[in-house]
C-alpha cells in the first residue's frame, strides 16, 4: 500500500495538515525498562492523506536515539485521528520525547508538526495507602 | 467488636500500594495491645516479610495477610489493633483499628453465683 498524497497545494509548515494532539505514556519509568507510548495525530486536511510519525529521545546524548514505532505511517481519513504505538528503553535519566508528524505529498514525506513530552526517572520505591481489615480464623 | 479465645487467630488482611523501583525487605507488622498517648503497647504480634514487589511506574496494590495467634500471653479484656508497613524507604506507615474492638475471652471464668433455699 502506498501513502496517499495531499491533493491540495503543499504548504510546508508546522501543523499544516497534521496535528499531534496527544502523547500518552507513563509519567515516570525505571532505568532499563521498556516504556510504551502512544502518539495521537489528527489529519487536519479535508480528505484522506498519508501520515507518518517519528520520535526521538532527548536526554543529553547525540544523536538523539529514535523511538521505535513498529507501524509508523497510515492513510488517515479527513478529520480523523490515528494512534501510533511506540516504545523505547528508559535510559538512566529523565527524557524528553520529541514526536514528529509528517504528511505525504508529491512523492515525499514532509515534516509538519512537533510536540514534546517528558518522562521522569523513577529511582526509588514509594509506598502508601495502607488499609487493613481483620477477622477471626 | 470481635471476641477471641485462646487458640484463635486474628487474621489481618492488609493492602498497600507501591510504585517505582522493585523492592525487597518490606515488612508488615501486626499487633494487638493498647494504644496510648505514648504509643502502642504491643502484647501479641506477628510480622511478615513482603516479597515479589516489582518495578512499576504506576501505583500497584498488594494484598497480604498476617495472622496473630491468641495465646495466654494476653489477659482477658478489650484491646486495640495496629499494623505498620516497615523497612521501607521513608517513614513507616501505620494503621490503627477501632479502639477496644478486640475482646479477649481467655480462660473460663465464672461469676454471679446466687442461691436461695427453702424447706422441701
pLDDT digits 0-9 by tens, A72-107: 999 999 999 999 999 999 888 889 999 999 999 878
- CB contacts < 8 A, A to B, total 102
Report yes or no on A92 lying in a domain: yes
CA–CA dist A8, B103 (Å, integer):
81
Q: Look up the ipTM and state it.
A: 0.85
Nearest to B85 among A30, A124, A127 (CB): A127
Residue span of the structural domain in which A49 resides: 18-121
CATH code of the domain containing A77:
2.60.40.10
Q: Which of B3, B16, B18, B19 to mutate to test the interface with A (most CBs of A within 10 A)?
A: B19
User: Closest-CA residue in chain A for B16?
Assistant: A130
Domain count across chain A: 1
Instruction: Report the pLDDT value the prediction gives residue A9, as an integer from 0 to 100.
Output: 40
Q: Does B97 touch chain A (CB under 8 A)?
A: yes
Q: Which CATH superfamily is domain B2-105 in?
A: Coagulation Factor XIII, subunit A, domain 1 (2.70.50.30)
CA nearest neighbour of B53 among B18, B7, B84: B18
Q: Does B51 touch chain A (CB under 8 A)?
A: no
B106 or A96: which leads in pLDDT: A96
What are the cell numbers at B113? Answer: 453465683
pLDDT digits 0-9 by tens, B48-97: 999 999 888 788 999 999 999 999 999 999 999 999 999 998 899 999 99
**Angle A62-A83-A29 from CA coordinates, rounded to 5°:** 50
Q: Does B108 touch chain A (CB under 8 A)?
A: no
Residues β-bridged to residue A116: A98
What's the whole-number mean pLDDT along residues A113-121?
Answer: 86
Q: Does B92 touch chain A (CB under 8 A)?
A: no
Write the burial class of residue A61 (CB in 10 Å: 0-12 exposed, 13-18 middle, 19+ buried).
exposed
CA nearest neighbour of B20 among B73, B89, B74: B89
Q: Domain locations in chain B?
A: 2-105
Report yes or no on A100 lying in a domain: yes
CB proximity list for A79: less than 8 A, separation 6 or greater = A42, A43, A44, A46
Indicate whether A5 pLDDT > 70: no
Report yes or no on A5 lying in a domain: no
Report yes or no on A132 lying in a domain: no
Q: Cβ separation of B57 and A28 shorter than 8 Å?
A: yes
Q: Cβ separation of A125 and B81 shorter than 8 Å?
A: no
- State the smallest CA–CA distance between residue A129 and chain B in angstroms: 5
- State the smallest CA–CA distance between residue B11 and chain A in angstroms: 5
Q: Does B4 touch chain A (CB under 8 A)?
A: yes
Q: Does B48 touch chain A (CB under 8 A)?
A: no
Amino acid at each position: 500500500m502506498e501513502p496517499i498524497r495531499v491533493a491540495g497545494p503543499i504548504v510546508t509548515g508546522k501543523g499544516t495538515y497534521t496535528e499531534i494532539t496527544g502523547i500518552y505514556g507513563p509519567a515516570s519509568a525505571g532505568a532499563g525498562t521498556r516504556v510504551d507510548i502512544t502518539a495521537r495525530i489528527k489529519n487536519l486536511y479535508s480528505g484522506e492523506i498519508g501520515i507518518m510519525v517519528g520520535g526521538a529521545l532527548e536526554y543529553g546524548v547525540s544523536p538523539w536515539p529514535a523511538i521505535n514505532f513498529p507501524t509508523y505511517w497510515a492513510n488517515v481519513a479527513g478529520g480523523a485521528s490515528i494512534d501510533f504505538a511506540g516504545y523505547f528503553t528508559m535510559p538512566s535519566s529523565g527524557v524528553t520525547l520529541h514526536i514528529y508528524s509528517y504528511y505525504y505529498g508529491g512523492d515525499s514525506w514532509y515534516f509538519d508538526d512537533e510536540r514534546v513530552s517528558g518522562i521522569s526517572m523513577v529511582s526509588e520505591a514509594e509506598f502508601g495507602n495502607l488499609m487493613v481489615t481483620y477477622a477471626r480464623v | 467488636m470481635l471476641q477471641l479465645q485462646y487458640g484463635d487467630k486474628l487474621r489481618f488482611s492488609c493492602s498497600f500500594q507501591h510504585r517505582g523501583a522493585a523492592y525487597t525487605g518490606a515488612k508488615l507488622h501486626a499487633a494487638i495491645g493498647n494504644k496510648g498517648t505514648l504509643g502502642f503497647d504491643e502484647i501479641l504480634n506477628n510480622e511478615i516479610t513482603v516479597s515479589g514487589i516489582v518495578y512499576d511506574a504506576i501505583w500497584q496494590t498488594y494484598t497480604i495477610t498476617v495472622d496473630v495467634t491468641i495465646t495466654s500471653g494476653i489477659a482477658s479484656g478489650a484491646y486495640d489493633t495496629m499494623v505498620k508497613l516497615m523497612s521501607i524507604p521513608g517513614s513507616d506507615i501505620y494503621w490503627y483499628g477501632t479502639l477496644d474492638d478486640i475482646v479477649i475471652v481467655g480462660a473460663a471464668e465464672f461469676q454471679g453465683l446466687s442461691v436461695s433455699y427453702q424447706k422441701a
